[in-house]
C-alpha cells in the first residue's frame, strides 16, 4: 500500500510568482486536506477536498486555491506569492471527512525570495 | 472555537527517563484528540488518537496518553526515553460531530531532546 506522496520536495520562487504543489493520496482515500506549517509553528488548515469538491476552508486568502482529481490526487495553487508564504506545505489524506485519521505526506518546502 | 495549548516549546530528558509532554485543549463539543510526531525534514506521523472509547490510549513506540475531561488535558507520556524519540511532537484536536469536516487544529509543538 502506497502512502501519501507529495511533489516537489523543495521549491524556490520569487515574490509575485505562482506555484502548484501536488499530492497523491493513500490508496482508497477520497479526502485530502492541505496544511501550511511555518517555521517553528504547528500546521494550519488551508482547505479540504472531498470527492473533487472543496469541503471547508481555513483562514487563508482566495489566492490559495486547490483541485482534486477523479483519482483523488490533489493540487494546491498559490498565486501572487508573498514572502510569508514560505513554509512547509503538508498534504493529508483520509478515508472520509469528519474524524477519520489523517495520514500525512512528507511535505513540500516552499521558499519565497 | 477549538484550540490546543502545548506547555513547553522544548523539553529535554536523559535517555531512560520519563517523557511527559503536556497538552491542554479547548472545545465546545466532545473532542477527538491526536498526537503526531515530526522528525527533522519529514511529515507528521500519527502516534495515537483518542476517540472517546477509552481514556487511556496506547500508541506506537511505547507512547501513551490519558484523556482527562475535568482537566481538559491529553498529556503524552513514555516511561523510558530513547535517543530515537528526539523529534517534535504536536497535539491536535478536531470536532467530533456529524458533518464536521474534521480539520485538525494543532498546538505549536514541543521539541523533545534526549541526552545520552
CA B40 to chain A, closest CA, distance in angstroms equals 10
Mean of the per-residue pLDDT values for chain B? 91
Question: Phi first, then psi: what are they for A96, rounded to 5°?
Answer: -160, 180
Q: Which among A42, A98, A104 has the least Cβ separation from residue B107?
A: A42
- The model's pLDDT over A37-78, given as tens digits with 9 standing for 90+, comes to 999 899 999 999 988 999 889 899 999 999 999 999 999 999
For residue A77, what are the β-bridge partners? A20, A65
- The model's pLDDT over B9-44, given as tens digits with 9 standing for 90+, comes to 999 999 999 999 999 998 877 788 999 999 988 889
Say whether residue B32 is in contact with chain A using an 8 A CB cutoff.
yes
User: Judged by CB atoms within 8 Å, which residues 53-112 of B form the interface with A?
Assistant: 90, 92, 94, 96, 98-109
Task: State whether A98 and B106 contact (CB < 8 Å).
Answer: no
> From the CB of residue A85, how many other CB atoms can be counted at a distance below 10 Å?
20
Nearest chain B residue to A47, by CA: B103
CA A67 distance to own-chain centroid: 10
- The model's pLDDT over A26-40, given as tens digits with 9 standing for 90+, comes to 988 999 999 999 998
CA A106 distance to own-chain centroid: 11
Rounded CA-CA distance B64/B78 in Å is 6
pLDDT score of B103: 84
Residue B63 pLDDT > 70, yes or no?
yes
pLDDT score of A96: 75
Task: State whether B101 and A101 contact (CB < 8 Å).
Answer: no
Per-residue pLDDT averaged across B102-115, rounded? 93
Mean of the per-residue pLDDT values for chain A? 93
Task: State whether A104 and B105 contact (CB < 8 Å).
Answer: no
pLDDT score of B29: 75
Please check whether residue A2 is in contact with residue A67, taking contact to mean a CB–CB distance below 8 angstroms: no
Q: Bigger pLDDT: A1 or B3? A: B3
pLDDT score of B108: 95
Rounded CA-CA distance A6/A25 in Å is 9
% of chain B exceeding 90 in pLDDT: 72
Nearest chain A residue to B4, by CA: A42
Rounded CA-CA distance A61/A105 in Å is 23
DSSP-based three-state secondary structure for B20: strand
- Got the DSSP string for A37-104? E-TTS--EEEEEEETTEEEEE-S--TTEEEEE-TTS-EEEEE-S--GGG-EEEEEEEESSSTTSPPEE
Q: What is the dihedral of CA B38, B98, A93, B24, to 10 degrees?
A: 0
The CA-CA-CA angle for residues A43, A47, A53, to 5°, reads: 155
Report chain A residues whose CB lies below 8 A from the CB of B99. 98
Closest CA to A7 of A107, A110, A112, A111: A107
Amino acid at each position: 500500500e502506497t502512502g501519501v506522496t507529495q511533489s516537489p520536495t523543495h521549491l524556490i520562487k520569487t515574490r509575485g510568482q505562482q506555484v502548484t504543489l501536488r499530492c497523491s493520496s493513500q490508496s482508497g482515500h477520497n479526502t485530502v486536506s492541505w496544511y501550511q506549517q511555518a517555521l517553528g509553528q504547528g500546521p494550519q488548515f488551508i482547505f479540504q477536498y472531498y470527492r473533487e469538491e472543496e469541503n471547508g476552508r481555513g483562514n487563508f486568502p482566495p489566492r490559495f486555491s486547490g483541485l482534486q482529481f477523479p483519482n483523488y490526487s490533489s493540487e494546491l495553487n498559490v498565486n501572487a506569492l508573498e514572502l510569508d508564504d514560505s513554509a512547509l506545505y503538508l498534504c493529508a489524506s483520509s478515508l472520509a471527512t469528519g474524524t477519520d485519521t489523517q495520514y500525512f505526506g512528507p511535505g513540500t518546502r516552499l521558499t519565497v525570495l | 472555537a477549538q484550540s490546543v495549548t502545548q506547555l513547553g516549546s522544548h523539553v529535554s530528558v536523559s535517555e531512560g527517563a520519563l517523557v511527559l509532554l503536556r497538552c491542554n485543549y479547548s472545545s465546545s463539543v466532545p473532542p477527538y484528540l491526536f498526537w503526531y510526531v515530526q522528525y527533522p525534514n519529514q511529515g507528521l506521523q500519527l502516534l495515537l488518537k483518542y476517540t472517546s472509547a477509552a481514556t487511556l490510549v496506547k500508541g506506537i513506540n511505547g507512547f501513551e496518553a490519558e484523556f482527562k475531561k475535568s482537566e481538559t488535558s491529553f498529556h503524552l507520556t513514555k516511561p523510558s526515553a530513547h535517543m530515537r524519540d528526539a523529534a517534535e511532537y504536536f497535539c491536535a484536536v478536531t470536532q467530533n460531530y456529524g458533518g464536521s469536516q474534521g480539520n485538525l487544529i494543532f498546538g505549536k509543538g514541543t521539541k523533545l531532546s534526549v541526552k545520552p
